[in-house]
Amino acid sequence: MKFLIFQHISVEGLGYFEECFKKHGIDIDIHDFSKKDSDVTLKDYDSLWVLGGPMDTDQEEKFPWMRTEKNLISEAVLKRKIPFMGICLGCQLLAETLGGNIRRMKRPEIGVANVTLLDKASSLFHNCPKTFKALHWHSYQATDLPDECDILAKSNLCDIQAFSYQDYAFGIQFHLEETKDTVESWCTVPEYKKSLEQALGSDGINYINKIVQNILPQSKEIAELIVKNFIKKIHK
């Protein structure tokens, strides 16, 4: 089994998900759009995963490669119909591909907060707790999803924390891939550091880092469950 990964910035990779993939014998190819735009095809891949990044979905002029990426996501989801996972920015790109809107939030969601699974939570979250704490780092959210989508999870600040499209394409706005080094690593990105300090103050890095360390064990458990449940979609 082989997955294609779209990455947007070097410090925001698969994180703990990569370890989950190794446990299941999944080979991966990573295409980092910040380093190259060409020479990428969906052929021979069993799934496409699209990760997060500091850019927004409407910044095609600043990041011209986003046009290529959006076309490939559309091909994967709407034409090839291969199992898809979008995380954070990847979640928003999926929503836009399906005809939804991406809107700036009244208040950014940055830090650790509860995620609550809804009644329509699909088999992707099988055996996951109804409510759990997760890392959030976004100021935009998906809205106005088409009828073919089911909203799977929400938080106090974001009505669509996870959604599915026909039970083979999924968007997750929150993060489960974090490791013990994630917060410090992400704060080397000026946009991330600025947004964190605006939300949590000058000591926000230390504050959120301590909380992330505390939730790591559960985040890993849920990440493992999601990967396990996702793989079942491929074997259908």
Name the residues annotated as catalytic.
88, 175, 177
Measure the CA angle with vertex 162, ends 109 and 137; round to 5°: 25
What three-state secondary structure class fits 234? helix
Tokens read off for 39: 């020479």
CB 7 within 8 A of CB 49: no
Q: Alpha carbon of 93 to those of 63, 124, 157: distances in Å? A: 14, 19, 20
Q: How far is CA 192 from CA 155, 196, 217, in A?
A: 21, 6, 24
